[in-house]
Amino acid sequence: MLNQVMDFAGEVLPGSCAVPPYSEAAFLTELGDRLRSSRIRCDLSRRELARRSGISERYIAQIEAGKGNVSIVLLLRLASAI
């Protein structure tokens, strides 16, 4: 999974040759889909992920729906919890 993140980051970071393939809305939708699939693959409920990450269930639901604008720190907390 780290390799996927590194590949994606290489595409969208300043100074890279690639043009970002996503609009912000599409990016947030994709992020939400990936969070949900990772959570399910790890057999975690939203409640358990909320408990482990310190992020509310409601906000996790918003992120999974592609409606939450997530900070890097919250992404780190979610990744660590999963």
In a domain, 3, yes or no: no
Instruction: Tell me which residue range forms the domain holding 61.
Output: 23-81
Please report, for the domain that includes residue 37, its CATH number: 1.10.260.40
Long-range contacts at 68-74 (CB < 8 A, ≥ 24 apart): 68/28, 68/32, 69/28, 70/28, 70/31
Per-residue CA distances from 28 to 10, 17, 45, 51 (Å): 18, 22, 20, 23
- Domain total of the chain: 1
Look at residue 2 and tell me whether its pLDDT is greater than 70: no
In a domain, 7, yes or no: no
* pTM summary value: 0.72
In a domain, 76, yes or no: yes
Structure confidence by residue, pLDDT tens digits, 15-32: 555 455 568 888 899 999
In a domain, 37, yes or no: yes
In a domain, 51, yes or no: yes
